[in-house]
Every structure is written in structure tokens, then in C-alpha cells.
């Protein structure tokens, strides 16, 4: 071991001497000749803010080479998150961060939050990776005080940054064509066209179509509580078809000291909802139609040396129709239409060299119309004001913020006699957050960090006003977050190892006034939303990344992540019956252990990617009894690709095998996931 360390030190020393020799040679040559340097284009976005707690990120080629069909598939590789997947190409996919619930996760698309006032959940399966340049996950909030007030208003955030047009010298048009096909009858073409309109303005248009029958085989196994086998059979999952069209267009501009962006997004889909496998019902006929549109714009400019302005605006209209034609249960044909108008202004002032202050003000207007009987047609006016500051002193970095939230709901109820009852409900709250980072030695890449944040989530329109279920007297659901951790990140030159990064965090979250469904009255067939839940969450997130350079141009990147979580239900201390109670039970679908491994190797123009995901044992109810137990599951995915050129056209062919060992498993109980499946991809760039 000592010999290895000495050799490694000698190698580093020799490398430094050679670099010094090169510098000296350039300086001597400069005495007699003029050196001409080639033009260098800086393509990475400059981030001037004081970052306290870095994000988990997937970007560029690293993001594209994952065996990921949508954004939902990619975020599985982050630590501290749980993906709720109802199966298939068109199945709903939502994200839960650190066991606090899906509604506590904010999803931002090019810096502006995606809203859903109806149920608070964003289906990440709707967003393709074809036009995504970076996916980043922040716990607490983004380490940037220069942002809209909404960015301060969630327990965790996912940022989706789409591709910004970039052009090489002398080129005015970029074209990228992708075509995927494979299992589930998948046909998935997409095209991206980028055009340089002038030196300061460019445009982009992206279109994608998905057609899949969604059929796949699954294994259905039932075991009684005494361990005896009830049945074990194999069937085909049906009514999981999906047809979708996504269109995006944008204009991008640069101005003196700033930039601007305008984007329009349209998504239209029809999908089957295969439903749960219960009571020997293998197929359902439920359908869902979604039609989503939004247009948003952003303007950012630096004025003078100390002031910077950020303006955002958005209009969104989402229409959803749900059909259940099964009259043996209940015929349902409901339509929901929600609208949103959003404007924001952020103002950052640099008081001193290392001290910044920001004031952000956001306004949001939400409405919901529905075809439900006795619906109250709610309208919500929300004003968020955030005051934040960032300071740096020697090895210390600090950020603090105070968010003020002011919400007014207006609703109109119509009685059976036709009379109207108007209701107005207001809510005001202030929530703080503090973030700290400390680097003990300036020249050593080790940082320690900690944060505290108090935040809440407003009840959704469904929570408050859904006919016969909603409760208009609900309070917000609060979370207190505590986190400590460290990060080490360095480029190294020791044998084949050329890069190393490690990070770990320990956290504690306490959720109060949790919104849950409880029986209404003495019967079990009617339910109501109530504020009676309490959850305590203790966890550890660990990430490690390494890069290796081997002889013969072989490069290998390795990424490992692990999460331990103990998320316990503290709602009812009297519900503690041994073997049946929910008190201190692990909450539903939260595993104690989960993790992933991603290995990527390249050799010249060829690449090979392997990924492994593991989710440990868990329960589908806070009553941690045998009947509610869910077995661990894991998947192995493998892909290979080769890049080549035909004339001036860059091409790449790839093949993927997902769930390599054909494991049958459920992410959500009775919603079986696909077994082994395949995909072939052709990419053309001009």
C-alpha cells in the first residue's frame, strides 16, 4: 500500500513538472514569435450565485445514455426519491422526495413551476428526454437566491432544463431526428430543428409522437397470510395503450447584460388505464384524455454593477376527461378544466462583494371547472413574497430566506333549489429557511453543509372541494426539515482513476397536519379528507461517482447511490395493537433500503451502459403486517451504442434490454410492471 502511494505521488509530481515545462516553453517562445489561439466557444452557462448545497444532476450525454424513456425513468437514479409507477408506457408516474409525499415536490420547467391545482401531482411520464438538457434535484430548495418566490415554496424541487440552441462557427441550422421502436408495439419518432435567426436571436421547434399498445406479460401470484399459495399464473396486461403528441416551440434572445426566452408547449394524449388486478379482474376499460397547453416567457437583465432583474410570466390550460364505462361498478364520465395565470418579478442587489439580497414577488390565479354534480367551481388567488440573502466569508457560505404566502380561495355552491352560497377562505403564513456550507481548507475539495427549512403545502382543489369527499375546512400540511452532510469532489491523477466524488447527507423530517382520507360516518364506503396525520422521517443519502481511464482509449464512469429511510406513522398513539396497529409503522411504499448502480464505458465510437436499481422490502399500509408486505424488487438494464458519420451527418444506433433477467414485480400493489423488454434507437444529427 505504501509503495502504491509513493508511485502515485511520483506520477502526480512528474505530471506537474511536465505542465510547468509546457508553460515555460510557451513563455520563452513568446519572446520571439506571436502565438495565434483558435477561437474558443464557452457553451456552459455561467452561474454567478453563491451555491451552498449542490444538486444531484444528470446532464448532457450522461442523461441521454441512460435507459430512460421519460423524465420519470431518469430520476430513479437519484438518492432519496421514490417513483410511484402504475406500469406500462402510459402509466402515471409521480415522484416522492424523502417520504414527504408527492405534493411536496415542486417541478420546474425552464425555471417556471408546472402547476396542478386540482390534485397537486405532476405526471413525469408526460415529459420526454429528447429535448431535456439537464435534470437536477434539490433538497430543501435551489441554492440560488435569485429566483421566483415559488422556488422557495416546496420541500424539494426537480428542475427540467430544455436544450438551448447552440451553433458552431458558420452553421445556422441544427437538426436532430430520433426514432425508437421496440416492445409494447412502440413507435416513437421525434424531430428537433434549431435555427439561428440572427447573432442574438435563435428559434427551436420540437415534435414527438408516441404510439404503443402497452401489452406485456406479467405474473400474478397470491399467497394467503398463513403462507399457503392461492394461485400463481401468467397473463397479459391489456388496456395500457397510449397515443400522444407533444409539440414545443421557443424563441431565445440575448441582449446587453441579459437574455430572454419565450416558449409554447402542447401535449395531447389518449391512454387506457389498465387498473388494479383484484378479484380476478384482469382487464378494465377505463380511458383518460389529456390536453395540456402552456405558454411562458422569461426576461433577465443586469442593470449596472449591483442590480439584476428577472421577470417570468405564464398561462396554462389543462383539460382532462376520465371515462369508466363499467356499469357494474359505477358509470363515470367526468371532465375537468383548470387554468393558471402566473407572473413573477425577482430583484437582486449586490450590497458587497460577497453579500447579495433578493426580493421576489409572485402572483398566481387558478380556476377549476368540472362536470361533477354540485361542484363549487373554485378560484384561488396566491401571492408569494420571498426575501432572501446570501453571504460568503472565507470558507463559509450562508443563505437565509423568509417566504410569505397569502392565499384566498373563492367558491360557489349551488343547492338543489338553485340558491347559491359563496364562500371565501383566506390563509397567511410565513416560513423560514437557513442553509450553511463550510470548507475547512481552501485547497482541499471537502465541504460540510447543513440546512433547516419550515414549509407547507396547500390543500388541493380535490382535497377541499371534490364532491362528497373534499373538506373545505382543511389546513395546510406542514413539514420541518433538518439536514447535515458533506461533499468531496476532485479531479485526481492516480493510475487509472481520474475523478472522484462522494457525498452523504443525514436528515430528519417531521410532517404534521398530514392530509389523509378517513371514513365518513360509521360506514366504510364514504370517505372525507382530514388533517390528522403525523409522520417522522429519518434517513441517510449516499452518492459516489468515479471516472477511470484505461489503456486503448477505454473510459469508464461509475455512479452509485444508496438511501436508508425510516419513515414512521405517528398519527394515532392508540392504534398500537401488536401485529396490526399503524402507530410507528413504516408508511406505505417506503422501503428501508434502496439504491442504484450505473456503469458507462466508451471505447472510441462505441459505448456500453449498465444500470441496476434495487428497492428493498416495504409495506403498502402503515400497518406492517404480513398481509401488507411487499417483496424487494430489482432490475438490470443494458444498452449498447455506436456512433459514426455518413458524409457530414452524425448518426448513432443503440439497442436496449430493460429488466434483463425478466423479474416480475409491482411498484404499486396489484399494478404489475413489464418483464424483459427491448428497444432500438436511431439518432441522426445534421
User: pLDDT > 90: what percent of the chain?
Assistant: 49
**Per-residue pLDDT tens digits for 601-615:** 999 999 999 999 999
Q: pLDDT: is 233 or 400 the higher one? A: 400
**Per-residue pLDDT tens digits for 474-495:** 888 899 999 999 999 887 777 7
Instruction: State residue 520's pLDDT score.
Output: 52
Q: How confident is the model at residue 417 (pLDDT cuts 50, 70, 90)?
A: low
**Per-residue pLDDT tens digits for 163-215:** 899 998 889 999 999 999 999 899 999 999 999 999 999 999 999 999 999 88
Instruction: State residue 338's pLDDT score.
Output: 93
Residue 221 above 80 pLDDT?
Answer: no
**Per-residue pLDDT tens digits for 428-453:** 999 999 999 999 998 888 999 999 99
Q: How confident is the model at residue 48 (pLDDT cuts 50, 70, 90)?
A: very low
CB 679 within 8 A of CB 182: yes
Instruction: State residue 467's pLDDT score.
Output: 62
Instruction: State residue 224's pLDDT score.
Output: 67
Instruction: State residue 431's pLDDT score.
Output: 95
**Rounded Cα–Cα distance for residues 372 and 465 (Å):** 11
Q: Is 379 exposed, middle or buried (0-12, 13-18, 19+ CB in 10 A)?
A: middle
Beta bridge mates, 583: none
Instruction: State residue 54's pLDDT score.
Output: 78
Instruction: State residue 35's pLDDT score.
Output: 42
Cα separation of the two ends of the chain: 51
Instruction: State residue 518's pLDDT score.
Output: 62
SS3 for 654-682 is EEEEECCCCCCCEEECCEECCCCEEEEEE
Q: How confident is the model at residue 592 (pLDDT cuts 50, 70, 90)?
A: very high
**Residue 246 φ/ψ region, left for φ over 0, alpha for ψ in the -120 to 50 degree band, beta for the rest:** beta
**Per-residue pLDDT tens digits for 64-92:** 766 666 787 788 788 888 877 777 676 77
The secondary structure of the chain in percent helix, strand, coil, rounded to multiples of 5, reads: 10, 60, 30
**Rounded Cα–Cα distance for residues 371 and 175 (Å):** 43
b/e string for 169-188 if b means 16 or more Cβ within 10 A? eeeeebebbbebebbbebeb
**Per-residue pLDDT tens digits for 331-356:** 889 999 999 999 999 999 999 999 99
Q: How confident is the model at residue 141 (pLDDT cuts 50, 70, 90)?
A: confident
Mean pLDDT of 497-524: 79
Instruction: State residue 415's pLDDT score.
Output: 61
Q: pLDDT: is 173 or 527 the higher one? A: 173
Mean pLDDT of 306-329: 91
CB 94 within 8 A of CB 124: yes
**Per-residue pLDDT tens digits for 420-430:** 778 888 999 99
Mean pLDDT of 5-27: 37
Note every long-range contact of 577-581, with CB atoms under 8 Å and residues 24 or more positions apart, other chains counting: 579/625, 580/623, 580/625, 581/623
Amino acid at each position: 500500500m505504501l509503495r502504491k502511494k509513493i508511485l502515485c505521488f511520483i506520477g502526480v509530481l512528474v505530471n506537474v513538472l511536465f505542465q510547468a515545462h509546457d508553460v515555460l516553453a510557451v513563455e520563452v517562445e513568446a519572446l520571439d514569435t506571436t502565438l495565434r489561439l483558435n477561437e474558443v466557444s464557452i457553451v456552459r452557462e455561467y452561474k454567478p450565485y453563491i451555491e451552498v448545497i449542490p444538486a444531484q444532476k444528470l446532464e448532457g450525454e450522461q442523461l441521454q445514455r441512460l435507459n430512460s424513456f421519460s423524465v420519470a425513468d431518469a430520476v430513479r437514479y437519484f438518492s432519496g426519491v421514490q417513483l410511484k409507477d402504475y406500469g406500462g408506457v402510459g402509466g402515471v408516474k409521480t415522484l416522492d422526495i424523502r417520504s414527504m409525499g408527492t405534493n411536496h415536490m415542486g417541478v420546474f420547467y425552464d425555471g417556471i413551476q408546472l402547476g396542478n391545482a386540482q390534485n397537486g401531482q405532476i405526471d413525469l411520464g408526460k415529459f420526454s428526454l429528447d429535448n431535456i438538457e439537464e435534470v437536477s434535484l434539490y433538497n430543501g430548495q435551489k441554492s440560488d437566491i435569485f429566483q421566483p418566490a415559488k422556488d422557495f415554496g416546496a420541500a424539494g424541487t426537480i428542475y427540467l432544463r430544455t436544450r438551448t440552441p447552440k451553433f458552431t462557427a458558420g452553421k445556422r441550422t441544427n437538426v436532430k431526428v430520433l426514432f425508437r421502436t421496440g416492445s409494447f408495439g412502440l413507435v416513437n419518432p421525434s424531430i428537433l430543428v434549431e435555427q439561428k435567426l440572427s447573432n442574438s436571436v435563435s428559434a427551436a421547434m420540437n415534435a414527438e409522437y408516441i404510439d404503443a399498445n402497452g401489452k406485456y406479460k406479467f405474473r400474478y401470484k397470491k399467497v394467503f397470510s398463513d403462507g399457503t399459495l392461492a394461485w400463481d399464473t401468467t397473463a397479459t396486461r391489456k388496456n395500457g395503450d397510449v397515443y400522444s403528441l407533444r409539440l414545443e416551440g421557443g424563441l431565445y434572445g440575448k441582449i446587453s447584460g441579459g437574455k430572454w426566452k419565450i416558449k409554447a408547449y402542447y401535449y395531447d394524449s389518449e391512454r387506457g388505464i389498465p387498473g388494479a388486478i383484484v378479484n380476478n379482474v384482469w382487464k378494465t376499460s377505463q380511458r383518460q384524455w389529456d390536453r395540456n397547453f402552456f405558454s411562458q416567457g422569461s426576461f433577465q437583465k443586469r442593470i449596472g454593477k449591483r442590480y439584476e432583474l428577472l421577470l417570468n410570466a405564464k398561462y396554462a390550460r389543462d383539460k382532462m376527461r376520465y371515462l369508466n364505462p363499467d356499469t357494474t361498478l359505477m358509470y363515470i364520465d367526468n371532465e375537468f378544466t383548470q387554468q393558471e395565470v402566473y407572473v413573477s418579478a425577482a430583484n437582486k442587489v449586490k450590497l458587497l462583494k460577497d453579500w447579495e439580497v433578493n426580493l421576489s414577488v409572485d402572483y398566481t390565479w387558478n380556476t377549476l371547472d368540472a362536470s361533477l354534480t354540485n361542484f363549487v367551481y373554485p378560484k384561488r388567488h396566491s401571492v408569494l413574497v420571498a426575501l432572501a440573502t446570501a453571504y460568503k466569508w472565507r470558507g463559509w457560505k450562508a443563505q437565509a430566506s423568509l417566504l410569505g404566502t397569502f392565499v384566498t380561495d373563492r367558491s360557489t355552491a349551488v343547492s338543489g333549489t338553485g340558491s347559491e352560497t359563496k364562500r371565501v377562505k383566506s390563509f397567511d403564513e410565513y416560513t423560514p429557511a437557513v442553509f450553511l456550507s463550510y470548507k475547512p481548507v481552501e485547497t482541499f475539495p471537502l465541504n460540510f453543509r447543513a440546512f433547516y427549512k419550515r414549509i407547507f403545502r396547500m390543500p388541493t382543489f380535490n382535497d377541499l372541494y371534490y364532491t362528497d369527499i373534499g373538506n373545505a375546512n382543511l389546513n395546510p400540511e406542514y413539514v420541518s426539515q433538518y439536514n447535515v452532510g458533506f461533499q468531496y469532489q476532485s479531479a485526481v491523477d492516480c493510475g487509472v482513476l481520474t475523478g472522484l466524488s462522494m457525498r452523504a447527507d443525514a436528515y430528519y423530517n417531521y410532517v404534521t397536519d398530514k392530509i389523509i382520507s378517513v371514513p365518513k360516518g360509521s360506514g366504510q364506503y364514504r370517505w372525507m379528507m382530514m388533517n390528522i396525520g403525523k409522520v417522522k422521517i429519518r434517513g441517510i443519502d449516499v452518492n459516489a461517482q468515479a471516472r477511470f481511464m484505461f489503456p486503448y482509449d477505454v473510459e469508464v464512469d461509475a455512479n452509485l447511490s444508496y438511501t436508508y429511510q425510516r419513515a414512521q406513522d405517528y398519527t394515532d398513539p392508540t392504534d398500537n395493537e401488536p401485529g396490526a396497529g399503524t402507530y410507528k409503522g413504516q408508511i406505505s411504499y417506503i422501503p428501508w433500503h434502496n439504491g442504484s448502480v450505473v456503469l458507462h464505458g466508451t471505447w472510441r465510437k462505441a459505448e456500453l451502459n449498465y444500470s441496476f436499481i434495487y428497492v428493498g422490502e416495504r409495506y403498502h399500509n402503515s400497518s406492517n403486517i404480513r398481509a401488507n408486505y411487499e417483496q424487494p424488487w430489482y432490475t438490470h438494464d443494458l444498452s449498447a451504442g455506436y456512433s459514426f458519420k455518413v458524409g457530414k451527418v452524425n448518426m448513432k444506433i443503440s439497442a436496449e434490454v430493460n429488466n434483463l433477467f425478466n423479474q416480475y414485480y409491482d411498484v404499486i400493489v396489484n399494478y404489475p410492471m413489464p418483464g424483459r423488454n427491448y428497444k432500438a434507437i436511431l439518432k441522426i444529427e445534421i
